Amino acid sequence: MDNFTFWSPTLFEFGKGSEEKTGELIRLFGGSKVLVHFGGGSVKRNGVLARVEDSLCKAGLPFVELGGVKPNPRSGLVYEGIALCRKENVDFILAVGGGSVIDSAKAIAIGVPYTGDFWDFYSGKAAVKSSLPIGTVLTIAAAGSEGSAGSVITQEETNLKRAAGNECMRPKFSVLNPAFTCTLPAYQTACGITDIMAHVCERYFTNTRHVETTDRLCEAVLKAVIEEAPKVLANPNDYEARANILWAGTIAHNDLCGVGRTQDWNSHDIEHELSGLYDVAHGAGLSVIMPAWMQHVYQHDIPRFAQFAVRVWGCDMHFDDPEATAKEGIARFRAFLTAIGMPATFSDIGAKAEDIPILVKNLGVTEEKPRAGFMQLAPHDVEAIYRLAL
């Protein structure tokens, strides 16, 4: 096991009616003037925004609104948010929505106290040093951004999707009401489930040995999601199944599943080029890329993929042919994704084979600078993974 620091100080307020505590939670963490950041009209239509703002009013908290965050959140709105916060002397950012809204809120929160261009943090030009405090009211189980220290933004002009992260960006609190996720359409629900599973898999496939406790936690989260996913797709209003998935999504990405080991994250980055270029849902892109990545790399560590097959998917172990078990696990994962309505190929998401060189180039991988991870990936590996997804 590797040395690690685990620090997940976010307060999670979970359950029915938990949004009523939003105002007092902002007070608890020192906020006095709030930016309420959200996406399209859904939080207005379903009344979530009104209930949250009601809680702010009850706590005597003045606020300004900034809506309009789109999936794969864009830099343009971040600049707008930063300007608004400065003008209005905002000292607390509240995200009401899913991962895109939260990531956009985080970008605004680190941009406000920074004198330069916030994109510096995402392009790698500057390291994040401070942030306004952030809180979230989550409306989709997916990104895990409600408990994570990271954010992913797409630059408007270039379509480059890049990540930034720092401990100070971790939300002070997150309000998780599973009922808010019941109105999500099946496709978005399944995209979220795929993202959750990917967050665990990126940590599960490691070269670090003797990390049994973390392994078992990873398997636990995956098994819970595999058990609960069909329930919410069969009955979107299944509060209990929604609740289990919502909590699994948070745990999948606060790094509980990743401590003490090297992690991969190549599937995520390879996917980011897809959703950056074609503006497809992140979960949909992951559904196409992650099994292709598995297919490309499984021979690097057949016992680990066999463990994945047996412990997560309940496959029988072929003791005389572990590779067969390893492949069966990947096949089960593919079949599961298909069963929950997720895409499997480039054409399913409108991606094009002829763009593969652009995707590889955007990823910035070169022969001299291959990507680290579970298996080192040179440009030809990345190309092979994209081709396996055709």
CB of 195 to its own copies, least distance (A): 16
Interaction of residue 248 with its own copies, rule CB under 8 A: yes
Q: Which is nearer to its own copies, 254 or 266 (CB)?
A: 254
CA distance linking residue 233 with residue 179, whole number of Å: 15
CB of 208 to its own copies, least distance (A): 10
Q: Given candidates 49, 241, 310, 330, which one binds its own copies under the rule CB under 8 A?
A: 241
Interaction of residue 316 with its own copies, rule CB under 8 A: no
Interaction of residue 375 with its own copies, rule CB under 8 A: no
Q: Which is nearer to its own copies, 229 or 292 (CB)?
A: 229
DSSP 54-72: HHHHHTT--EEEE----SS
The piece of 9-17, 81-89, 114-122, 154-162 that touches its own copies (CB under 8 A) is: 9-17
Q: Given candidates 13, 146, 202, 271, which one binds its own copies under the rule CB under 8 A?
A: 13
Q: Given candidates 48, 96, 143, 221, which one binds its own copies under the rule CB under 8 A?
A: 221
Contact (Cβ atoms closer than 8 angstroms) between residue 187 and residue 341: yes
Instruction: Residue count of the chain, please give it.
Output: 390
Q: Token digits for 61?
A: 């908290």
Q: Given candidates 34, 107, 110, 211, which one binds its own copies under the rule CB under 8 A?
A: 211
Beta strands in 276-362 (DSSP E): none
Interaction of residue 193 with its own copies, rule CB under 8 A: no
CA distance linking residue 92 with residue 61, whole number of Å: 10
Q: Which is nearer to its own copies, 75 or 214 (CB)?
A: 214
Distance (Å) of CA 309 to CA 6, 211, 332:
28, 18, 8
Interaction of residue 220 with its own copies, rule CB under 8 A: yes
Q: Token digits for 117?
A: 């261009």
SS3 (DSSP) at 200: helix
CB of 32 to its own copies, least distance (A): 22
CB of 194 to its own copies, least distance (A): 17
CA distance linking residue 190 with residue 197, whole number of Å: 11
Helix axes 266-278, 186-204, angle to 10 degrees: 150
Q: What is the largest CA-CA distance in the chain?
A: 68
HSE-CB of 198 using CA atoms within 13 angstroms: 32
Interaction of residue 5 with its own copies, rule CB under 8 A: yes
Contact (Cβ atoms closer than 8 angstroms) between residue 4 and residue 260: yes
Interaction of residue 213 with its own copies, rule CB under 8 A: yes
CB of 21 to its own copies, least distance (A): 9
The piece of 104-112, 130-138, 237-245, 381-389 that touches its own copies (CB under 8 A) is: 237-245
Q: Which is nearer to its own copies, 2 or 316 (CB)?
A: 2
Q: Token digits for 119?
A: 């994109």
Contacts of its own copies in 41-70 (CB under 8 A): none
Report strand pairing: 161-165 vs 150-154: antiparallel
CA distance linking residue 292 with residue 255, whole number of Å: 24
The piece of 11-19, 115-123, 333-341, 344-352 that touches its own copies (CB under 8 A) is: 11-19
Q: Which residue has the tokens 């067969």?
A: 324
CB of 23 to its own copies, least distance (A): 16
SS3 (DSSP) at 136: strand
Contacts of its own copies in 249-308 (CB under 8 A): 251, 256, 259-260
Instruction: Give the binding site for its own copies (CB under 8 A).
Output: 1-18, 178, 209-217, 219-221, 223-224, 227-228, 240-241, 243-245, 247-248, 251, 256, 259-260
